[in-house]
Chain A
Amino acid sequence: MNAVLVLQSLISGIMMGSVYALLGVGFSLTWGVMKVIHISHAAFGLMGSFLAYTLLKWWGLDPILSLVISVPLLFVAACLVYRFLITPITQAKEVIVSSMILTFGIAIILENLMLLIWSPDPRLLTTAYTSKVLILGPLYFQYPRLAGFLMSAVGVLVIHFFLKKTLTGKAVRAAWQQSDAAQLYGVNLKRISMVTFGLAVASAGAGGVGMAFLYSFDPHTHNLWLIYLFLVVIVGGVGNVIGTALAGLIIGVITGLSLAFLPYQWVNLLTFGLLMIILLIRPHGLFRGEV
């Protein structure tokens, strides 16, 4: 094996992994805090990719700058979805299962809206720096990947510090650990849940842009992303931001290495097989921890 090739795929794996992490953090939070498995998380993320694509095409807006528009938009949309669709089922006995089916419905609606608006053709984010490469010694870094990496790293850190340092973030953690006690201390659970959901979806939008930097996408792509989401969250531990981030990196590295040494069609098979095995051995994740 070639050492440079290994190092190279390690680096590109970390870059991919950071994007998986950003995409997965919100999914992990909604699952952990609200006991809602948000199947349409990836579909909302894909909305972010398509919005970035359109804004780039219309106004030549840089995909990262387009987040200024798409993130608030997704936040509001998610709050509405939470208020009108998720709230009615949060009282049910089996929230987790019913939330899966309900949000599957949302995913189908979003997928077909995207099909109607953007057609089923695969798209690529082609910016001015798409084909530019930063060369450091024997290693090279593609600019779009670098941009996705930096954006994702910043995104994950922002979410982490939001949860640790801000009052709202602390309320989210309190609601996750002891929802009844948190309510006694004046945490408005409904509002907190709505904000968490909104932020999670908004971060998915950013994750979607990151994914669009890495891969081509079409309205069906979110199904594949969903598997990655499950993988990242289950490896990292539900509700665990740092765990999810680490899991994202690990999975990114595994994908990066297997992309370098395996035929492409076996990579997904490997990933899904890995998920099944981890589920069977450690269903609560590799990292024990809290939000």
Chain B
Amino acid sequence: MVQTQTPSRSFVLIAPILLLGLAIFPWLGLPVYFISLLFTVFLYVTLASSWNLIGGFAGYLSFGHVAFFGIGAYVTALMMKGLKLSPLWTILSSIPAGGMAALIAFIVGYPCLRLRGPYFAVITFCFAFVVELGVKNLDILGGPEGLWLKSMDLPIHVIRAILFEVMLVIMVFAISLSIWTSRSKFGAGLRAIKEDEEVAQTMAINAPKLKIQAFALSAFFPGMAGGMYAYYLTYIHPDIVFDVMISILIVLMALFGGGGTWLGPIIGAVVLTLVNEGLSTFVKAEFARIIYGCLFIGVIIFMPNGIMEFLKKGGAKQAS
């Protein structure tokens, strides 16, 4: 079923107010913890919304999106080290970081996107491993020890606030792209590919071109987000920025909220990041992960179309 979504009028009213509220949030004098928490939420919303372009709309489940995140982190780190730019200035470097991620996605996507279903999932999964191992073996990238970055010469609160604002902007762009996709011909083409690629091609949809565009776009924002994350941590390590778990979390978030809609990944990312935060605060890490594992199973068994669809259906059942 191909459907276009139009943001309702209430959304048009609420969104700017919400954004304004978020923009002034770090300057309200709340503890740094809350700024960091929201930063993480923005990060995952960006990742899940971007993944959704290729995974949700086009139905090509990339299980290796963390590769683009990590590439962005390393590009930013190298620019900080190599060009010796002042840290504040290099915030702009997250743009080339995103560009690099998109370029690599373009090159890798060209052969990989010919594979479908599980084969695409497997090859992207391996791609992330290959990139991680490659980085670990290159001394110029710090090898298995990782890289230390120079932090900005500012109080921690201000640094976090700056990163918060930049991440907010990146997120707004990622969401805007997602909304635009859901309403445009581009998105309709991707949905047609998801439904049936052969049929789509007979309808004069240039599937290979659309897929590669979607893949490159879906890598761009994770690359930028990875760059910001590098600043945020000031220390990057292949095990952290290429963690398989991030790839899987992105997929879970998008599917939890409902892939193929612009709102789904946002809801999924917000809910699951908060759940994760709550869990890791109150229970042992292993138990938290076990609960996470149960979530995967629950989502797939009980709400394969995402929580929004699930709630809607539940409502419909009660009404009838």
Contact = CB atoms under 8 A, between A and B. Distances in A.
Contacts of B295: 105
A4 interface: no
A31 B126 CA distance: 18
Contact of A276 (B127, B255, B297): B127
Nearest to B288: A112
Contact of A108 (B111, B137, B296, B299): B296
A230 to B, nearest CB: 5
A154 interface: no
Interface secondary structure of B, over-half rule: helix
A245 interface: no
A189 interface: no
B169 interface: no
A104 B115 contact: no
Interface residues of B, number: 40
B290 A279 contact: no
A85 B287 CA distance: 20
A112 B290 CA distance: 6
Interface string A272-291: 11011001100100000000
B252 interface: yes
B25 to A, nearest CB: 33
A101 to B, nearest CB: 5
A276 B296 contact: no
A265 B296 contact: no
Interface stretch (A90-98, A160-168, A203-211): A90-98
A137 interface: no
Contact of A272 (B126, B248, B300): B126
Given A223-B244, A276-B126, A265 B300 contact: no
Interface residues of A, number: 39
Contacts of A268: 129, 133
B118 interface: yes
B133 A272 contact: yes
B136 interface: yes
A89 B304 CA distance: 9
A234 interface: yes
A197 to B, nearest CB: 16
Nearest to A279: B123
Interface string A18-35: 000000000000010000
A105 B296 contact: yes
B51 to A, nearest CB: 13
Interface in B224-249: 244, 248
Contacts of A283: 115, 119
A266 interface: yes
Interface string B282-307: 00001101101111110111001000
Contacts of B299: 101
Interface in A88-138: 88-89, 92, 94, 96-98, 100-102, 104-109, 111-113, 115-116
Contacts of B63: 100
A96 B300 CA distance: 12
A37 interface: yes
A269 interface: yes
A122 to B, nearest CB: 16
B290 A88 contact: no
B121 A108 contact: no
B130 A272 contact: yes
A101 B256 CA distance: 11
Contacts of B278: none
Interface in B53-92: 61, 63
Given A96-B117, A105-B296, A106-B297, A269 B304 contact: no
Contact of A98 (B114, B290, B304): B304
B251 A101 contact: yes
A227 interface: yes
B286 A276 contact: no
B300 A89 contact: yes
18 contacts: A37-B118, A92-B304, A97-B61, A97-B117, A97-B121, A100-B121, A101-B248, A104-B248, A109-B289, A111-B289, A112-B289, A112-B290, A113-B290, A266-B137, A268-B133, A272-B129, A276-B127, A279-B119
Which 5 A/B pairs are nearest by Cβ-Cβ distance? A105-B296, A108-B293, A109-B293, A102-B300, A112-B286
Given A108-B293, A112-B287, A273-B130, 10 more contacts: A105-B294, A106-B293, A109-B289, A112-B290, A227-B129, A230-B126, A272-B133, A279-B119, A280-B111, A280-B123
